[in-house]
Amino acid sequence: TAVMLLYARPEFNTDLNAMNTVSSSTVAADHLFARVWGNITGKNYLMISAPSITKIRRLDDKLLDKIERDRQSGLLAASFVPAMIFPGAVRQSENFAAWQAFWTPERVRRLKKSLLADSRALGFAPGAFAPFLNSLRLKAQPPAPALSPRFYSLMGISRAATGPGLVQFITMTPGKSYKARTFLDKYQVYGKIFEPKFFAKKLGELLFSTFTRLFIMIAVGVTLLLFLVFLDLRLTMITLLPVIFAYICTLGTLRLIGHPIDIPGLMLSIIILGMGIDYSIFFVRAYQRYRSADNPSYGLVRMAVFMSAASTLIGFGALIPARHSLLHSAGLISTLGIGYSLLGAFIILPPLLKAQFAPRAVSLPRPDKMSADIIRRRIIRRYQLLEAYPRLFARFKTKLDPMFDHLPVMLKDCRPMATIIDIGCGYGVPAAWCLEYFPKAMVFGLEPDPERVRVAALVTSNRGQISRGWAPAMPPTGNKAADCVLLLDMLHYLDDNTLTALLEKSRQRLRPEGILVMRYAVIPPGRPSWFWHVEDLRIKFSGMTPYYRTIKEVNDLLLTAGFTVDIHEVSAANNELVWARAGVNT
């Protein structure tokens, strides 16, 4: 990469000819034709318009004066203006004055003497040149010759396609000192100009600048989108590295082989960016999910990326031998860009991802130093390598949910716990809190959603075991009696029979001195909050029925299941939530 970086300075070719599909032999034949017969495509065209032929001829007179001066300066080599044959009134007066100034009496006398002598010797009649000689002695300007409509097409004049009036096309051949900008500044005041080479150059520059801006906008947009998806600057940069590597190596290779970046190559650079980012995203998200390159599922993703890139490389690689410049350039640049993107994904990403997702050891403060803020930061740290949604969920839940202020109160006076069961553990935030609050505890969770099971298992790591299942099932604990069973924010999902069975199983799994901690939603006495309505609608839209119970109903269920209720009160922070703590009735 360092070597390629030295040669990665791009060279651009904005010539539109780079976009044609003509073979090199045809281009050579075209150049030969131009050298022999002249370059018929190298002329400039000026279109002027006027309401009448009289005004057309006046414009021709002015143009002819300017063209004659520019031919002398070398700006133009040749041109034809109808005023050369059919001058207007102004031009005719100038021509007549020049005619009279040139044919002085002395010149007329010598011409007449020489012409009469030579014509007699050649056998011409005595008066054969009389009309010409008489024209040399004209004192009054003859009338301007009329331009008949039958000569319009010959003079490049035609009726306007829309509306009344006439249009005229004048051709001009550039000279040795020709400069397109100077030519345009001088002649664009007369009408519309078509300058093929300048037009092609400006169009090429426009296309190049447009696609350059488009490429920059897409690159910035992709970077922002990646950051919004990952919400992790380091992971965003890791994802972009193979693409950056691909562009550096592609530019370096093109410079080494002497192939500039043409317009087709610039257009394809956007496709290369998109495909290269795809490869990186697949690798990064797969590693983020499976956490090991040895995982069989990660191997499937890797093989899918390879097959996708290989099929694309075969398609673009087949264009490289093409004799047409457009196809050859498209095949070469695409093959290099996609090939280097694939190489970067397979070589650069694995070691970086392994380092990024390696477990990080955290020194555990002594229990008397485990403040609420320290616990919160340590919980968030457990989620820092996960996807954005569970990471944000944990951050906002620990910050906004008063649960973590009440849990220490509910667990006050409890001995250090070793085994905790969390029913409906979700993404594992309460489980993570328990692991931080009780440094030697193990958490066994139960959750029906497979994605949440995966996240909770990663969060609890080797200090937890998360199973997928529905209440009233209980997670396996390896014949260990539980010190605590957590039923947090999940009672309203269960009907009475299921809840009764769950409470009975919870009592059976608890130690004699174990406790049951619950938080459940109730219908508030006043107007429910918008959050309560959102949760209620979410449950109904998912096809389930919410079961809201009063404090007395839950208390009766606990007593029936064999619990002794120690605490049962409405949350001070939210009157829509109720906390309960119960011990086993021995």
User: What CATH topology corresponds to 2-16+200-356?
Assistant: Multidrug efflux transporter AcrB transmembrane fold (1.20.1640)
The pLDDT, as a whole number, for residue 9 is 61
Residue type, 362: V
- Where does the pLDDT of residue 18 fall: very low under 50, low under 70, confident under 90, or very high at 90 and above? low
Q: Which residue has the higher pLDDT, 161 or 486?
A: 486
- Where does the pLDDT of residue 11 fall: very low under 50, low under 70, confident under 90, or very high at 90 and above? low
User: Phi, psi (5° rounding) for residue 401?
Assistant: -85, 125
Cα separation, 338 vs 487, whole angstroms: 52
**CB proximity list for 204: less than 8 A, separation 6 or greater:** 14, 15, 16, 263
CATH 1.20.1640.10 intervals, the chain: 2-16+200-356
Query: Left, alpha or beta for 72 (phi > 0: left; psi -120 to 50: alpha)?
Result: alpha
Q: Is a pLDDT exceeding 80 seen at residue 86?
A: yes
Please give the share of the chain, as a percent, with pLDDT higher than 90: 45
User: Phi, psi (5° rounding) for residue 6?
Assistant: -70, -25
Average pLDDT over residues 59-69: 90
Q: What is the pLDDT of residues 321-333, one digit of tens each?
A: 887 777 888 899 9
Q: Is a pLDDT exceeding 70 seen at residue 17?
A: no
- Where does the pLDDT of residue 2 fall: very low under 50, low under 70, confident under 90, or very high at 90 and above? low
The tokens for 355 are 């380092």
- CATH of region 367-584: 3.40.50.150
Count of CB atoms situated within 10 Å of the CB of 225: 12
- Residue 289, CB half-sphere, CA atoms under 13 Å: how many? 14
Residue type, 127: G
Contacts of the segment 405-410: beta carbons below 8 A, 24+ positions apart: 405/372, 405/573, 406/519, 406/571, 406/573, 406/579, 407/433, 407/437, 407/517, 408/372, 408/437, 410/517, 410/567, 410/579, 410/581
Q: Is a pLDDT exceeding 80 seen at residue 5?
A: no
Confidence (pTM): 0.71
Please give the share of the chain, as a percent, with pLDDT higher than 70: 93
DSSP 324: B
Q: Which residue has the higher pLDDT, 284 or 261?
A: 284
The pLDDT, as a whole number, for residue 286 is 93
The tokens for 331 are 């095949």
Q: How many Å is the maximal CA-CA distance in the chain?
A: 154
> pLDDT averaged over the chain?
87
Q: Is a pLDDT exceeding 90 seen at residue 236?
A: yes
Average the pLDDT over each of 82-91, 169-178, 238-247, 342-351 and give the range with the smallest value: 82-91
Average pLDDT over residues 541-555: 91
Average the pLDDT over each of 20-34, 145-159, 300-314, 496-510 and give the range with the smallest value: 20-34
Average pLDDT over residues 185-209: 83
- Where does the pLDDT of residue 15 fall: very low under 50, low under 70, confident under 90, or very high at 90 and above? low
The pLDDT, as a whole number, for residue 434 is 93
Which residues are bridge partners to 375 per DSSP? none
Q: H-type helices in 401-483, by residue range? A: 403-410, 429-437, 450-460
Which residues are bridge partners to 445 per DSSP? 422, 466
The pLDDT, as a whole number, for residue 397 is 94
- Where does the pLDDT of residue 383 fall: very low under 50, low under 70, confident under 90, or very high at 90 and above? very high
Average pLDDT over residues 2-29: 63
Q: What is the pLDDT of residues 406-443, one digit of tens each?
A: 998 888 877 788 999 999 999 999 999 999 998 889 99
Q: Which of 249, 244, 494 is nearest to 236 (CA)?
A: 244
Q: What is the pLDDT of residues 214-229, one digit of tens each?
A: 888 988 999 999 999 9
CATH 3.40.50.150 intervals, the chain: 367-584
Which residues are bridge partners to 162 per DSSP? none
Q: Is a pLDDT exceeding 90 seen at residue 470?
A: yes
DSSP 579: E
Q: What is the pLDDT of residues 352-366, one digit of tens each?
A: 999 998 876 555 554
Do residues 288 and 386 touch, judged by C-beta distance below 8 A? yes
The pLDDT, as a whole number, for residue 119 is 84
Contacts of the segment 363-372: beta carbons below 8 A, 24+ positions apart: 364/439, 367/439, 370/436, 370/437, 372/404, 372/405, 372/408
Q: For residue 115, what is the enclosing H or E element?
A: helix 105-121
Average the pLDDT over each of 197-206, 241-250, 532-541, 558-567 and give the range with the smallest value: 197-206
Do residues 255 and 13 touch, judged by C-beta distance below 8 A? no
Average pLDDT over residues 323-350: 90
The pLDDT, as a whole number, for residue 6 is 61
- Where does the pLDDT of residue 109 fall: very low under 50, low under 70, confident under 90, or very high at 90 and above? confident
12-13 and 261-262 beta bridge pairing: parallel
Distances (CA, A) of 186 to 43, 67, 87, 190, 191: 16, 10, 21, 9, 11
Cα separation, 199 vs 203, whole angstroms: 6
Which residues are bridge partners to 66 per DSSP? none
